[in-house]
């Protein structure tokens, strides 16, 4: 079999994306019924009944007292930071989606990037503690790939030093660390319901907390700062979730267990097949608690595999396997942050090392067993043509730079 990059036919007729949405027929039917209700009521936004029911059920699922539904997770983080009235530096991992860092800057706070634990790919509590100064006001931990970070260690640090502690739980819908469900760690956590996530509402997010004041303030901030019908008390923003998005969430909730099981089956099929290829190792998921198995993450050892991660990913794209390098480069290596904080960008060797080796494979496959087997065959085939692939990649990059 000749790899597509060397002239063979692509392994798949249409692109396989890492975060392709999955909307079951039953979900669609229930969504349409819920939207008929919304249209009949002529109530499409402004804290409607679908939003209120959605908040109740998401809070219940995550075992927290309060849930505020927001238009998306980035605005949820910005609102949460505003609600906490922070000033100074915020420590967060560089190995995260750039929106986590951007939201910090939007609130005129200074991001301080920490390194990660090589085994988990999440914030290293010891490095977090070493970065704390008199200017530190908060820590943000990020749960990644369906796993939960070392939240208890971060909670101990934050409690001892009197710092606000938040969690980016965009990857962790329904996940837990032992018996503790995501949502109740730190002062608050924020979820993402983007269409590419395990649980999507087209666009959406939520702030989860057990703190009544954070919840009260967040609800006002998401509605322009209104305290009552015509009394504005804060600099707020339009962060409300629509009835349409809430209806999509309500329609999807009955399918959560089914989706988790489908993801788990896909993850295990990948693990058996890709994990058996020399030079490919797999990130363990769900070993410390409940997982949604949202991502399948592997690492490429270029010496053992015979090719770099970048050559492999380029080759996979030619096969219509749209693997992603989440999260490369780390935020601390992005031009925007390097240019803005030229003298302050840290050395984060673990983040750099993991970022150079990581690759996320497509989930929500139509036929998990068959498709993972085919993807593993493609990876093995690319490895078997290593010499030709290196030359192809060199020519391809040379042509791209000269065009």
If asked whether residues 246 and 263 sit together in one domain, one would say no
Same domain, 116 and 221: yes
Question: What are the C-alpha distances in Å from 19 to residues 116, 243, 281, 294?
Answer: 24, 24, 21, 8
Q: Note whether 272 and 182 are same-domain residues.
A: no
Instruction: Indicate whether 345 belongs to any domain.
Output: yes
The domain that holds 196 is classified in CATH as 3.40.640.10
Q: Specify if 1 maps to a domain.
A: no
Q: Is residue 299 part of a domain?
A: yes
The confidence score (pLDDT) of residue 402 equals 62
Q: Is residue 18 part of a domain?
A: no
Q: Which two tokens stand for residue 215?
A: 């919840």
Residues 166 and 285 in one domain: no
Q: Contact 71/240 with Cβ under 8 angstroms? A: yes
Task: Note the residue count of the chain.
Answer: 403
- Segment 238-249 mean pLDDT: 98
pLDDT, position 343: 78
Question: Residues 209-226: what's their mean pLDDT?
Answer: 98
- Which CATH number belongs to the domain containing residue 378 in this structure? 3.90.1150.10
The answer to the question of residue 375 being in a domain is: yes
Domain shared by 149 and 182, yes or no: yes
Q: Which residues of 31-59 are buried (b: 16+ CB within 10 A; e: fewer)?
A: beebbeebeeeeeebebbebbeebbeebb
Q: What is the pLDDT of residues 297-325, one digit of tens each?
A: 999 999 999 999 999 999 999 999 999 99
Average pLDDT over residues 324-335: 97
At residue 115, the pLDDT reads 98
One domain, residues 221 and 75 = yes
**224 and 282 housed in the same domain:** no
Summary mean pLDDT of the chain: 97
Task: Tell me the pLDDT tens digit for each residue of 145-170.
Answer: 999 999 999 999 999 999 999 999 99
Average pLDDT rounded to a whole number, residues 266-279: 98
What's the pLDDT at 397? 82
> Is it the case that residue 93 has pLDDT exceeding 70?
yes
Give the residue from 231, 254, 277 where a domain finishes: 254
Per-residue pLDDT of 64-75, as tens digits, reads 999 999 999 999
State residue 214's pLDDT score. 98
Question: How far is 43 from 79, CA to CA, in rounded Å?
Answer: 24
Distance of alpha carbon 154 from alpha carbon 347, whole angstroms: 21
Q: Do residues 217 and 70 share a domain? A: yes
Helix axes 386-402 and 309-318, enclosed angle (nearest 10): 80
- Collapsing DSSP to helix, strand or coil, 46 comes out as coil
Least confident of 277-286, 348-357, 392-401: 392-401
Q: Is the pLDDT of residue 355 over 80?
A: yes
- Greatest C-alpha distance within the chain: 69
Residue 135 and residue 252: Cα distance in Å, rounded? 43
pTM higher than 0.85, yes or no? Answer: yes
Q: Domain end: 217, 234, 254, which one?
A: 254
Mean pLDDT score, 263-280: 98
Burial class (CB in 10 A: 0-12, 13-18, 19+), 141: buried
* pLDDT digit string, tens, across residues 138-147: 999 999 999 9
Number of domains in the chain: 2
The Cα 229–Cα 159 span in angstroms is: 37
Residues 262 and 312 in one domain: yes
Residue 403: its pLDDT value, please?
A: 57
Domain span at 306 = 256-402
Q: Which of 10-19, 305-314, 339-348 has the lowest mean pLDDT?
A: 339-348
pLDDT at 342: 81
| In-domain check, residue 76 | yes
Query: Which pLDDT value is given to residue 398?
Result: 76
Pairing of strands 188-192, 164-168: parallel
- Please compute the mean of the pLDDT values over residues 366-390 and round it to a whole number: 97
Same-domain pairing of 241 and 303: no
* C-beta separation of 358 from 372 below 8 A: no
What's the chain's Rg over C-alpha atoms?
A: 22
Domain-embedded: residue 2: no
What's the pLDDT tens digit per position in 164-198?
A: 999 999 999 999 999 999 999 999 999 999 999 99
Q: In what order do the strands lie in the sheet with 296-300?
A: 280-282, 296-300, 358-361
Band the pLDDT of 401: cuts 50, 70, 90: low
Of residues 311, 379, 315, the one with CA closest to residue 5: 315
| 162 and 283 inside one domain | no
How many other C-beta atoms are found inside a 10 Å radius of the C-beta of residue 159?
Answer: 11
Between CA 211 and CA 82 the distance in angstroms is: 15
Last residue of some domain: 254, 280, 307? 254
74 vs 205: CA distance, rounded Å: 8
Per-residue pLDDT at 142:
98
Kindly state whether residues 142 and 264 are assigned to the same domain. Answer: no
């Amino acid at each position: 079999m000749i790899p597509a990059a060397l002239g063979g036919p692509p392994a798949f007729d249409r692109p396989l994306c890492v975060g392709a949405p999955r909307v079951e027929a039953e979900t669609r039917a229930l969504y349409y019924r819920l939207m008929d209700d919304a249209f009949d009521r002529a109530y499409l936004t402004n804290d409607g009944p679908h939003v209120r029911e959605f908040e109740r059920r998401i809070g219940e699922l995550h075992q927290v007292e309060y849930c505020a539904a927001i238009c998306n997770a980035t605005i949820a983080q910005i609102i949460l930071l505003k609600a906490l009235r922070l000033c100074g530096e915020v420590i967060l991992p560089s190995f995260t989606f750039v929106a986590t860092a951007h939201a910090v800057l939007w609130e005129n706070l200074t991001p301080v990037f920490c390194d990660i634990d090589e085994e988990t790919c999440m914030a290293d509590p010891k490095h977090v503690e070493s970065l704390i100064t008199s200017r530190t006001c908060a820590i943000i931990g990020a749960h990644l790939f369906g796993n939960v970070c070392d939240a208890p260690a971060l909670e101990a640090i934050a409690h001892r030093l009197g710092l606000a502690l938040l969690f980016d739980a965009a990857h962790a819908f329904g996940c837990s660390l032992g018996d503790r469900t995501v949502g109740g760690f730190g002062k608050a956590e924020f979820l993402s319901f983007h269409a590419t996530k395990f649980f999507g509402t087209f666009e959406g997010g939520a702030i989860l907390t057990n703190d009544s004041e954070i919840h009260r303030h967040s609800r006002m901030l998401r509605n322009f700062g209104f305290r009552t019908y015509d009394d504005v008390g804060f600099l707020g923003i339009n962060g409300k979730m629509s009835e349409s998005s809430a209806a999509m969430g309500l329609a999807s909730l009955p399918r959560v267990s089914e989706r988790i099981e489908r993801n788990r089956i896909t993850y295990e099929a990948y693990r058996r097949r890709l994990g058996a290829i020399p030079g490919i190792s797999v990130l363990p998921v769900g070993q410390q608690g409940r997982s949604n198995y949202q991502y399948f993450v592997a690492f490429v050892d270029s010496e053992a595999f015979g090719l770099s991660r970048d050559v492999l990913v380029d080759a996979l794209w030619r096969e219509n396997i749209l693997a992603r390098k989440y999260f490369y480069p780390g935020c601390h290596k992005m031009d925007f942050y390097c240019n803005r904080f030229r003298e302050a960008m840290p050395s984060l060797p673990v983040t750099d090392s993991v970022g150079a080796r990581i690759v996320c494979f497509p989930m929500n496959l139509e036929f998990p067993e068959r498709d993972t087997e085919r993807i593993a065959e493609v990876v093995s085939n690319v490895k078997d043509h290593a010499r030709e692939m290196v030359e192809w990649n060199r020519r391809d990059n040379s042509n791209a730079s000269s065009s």
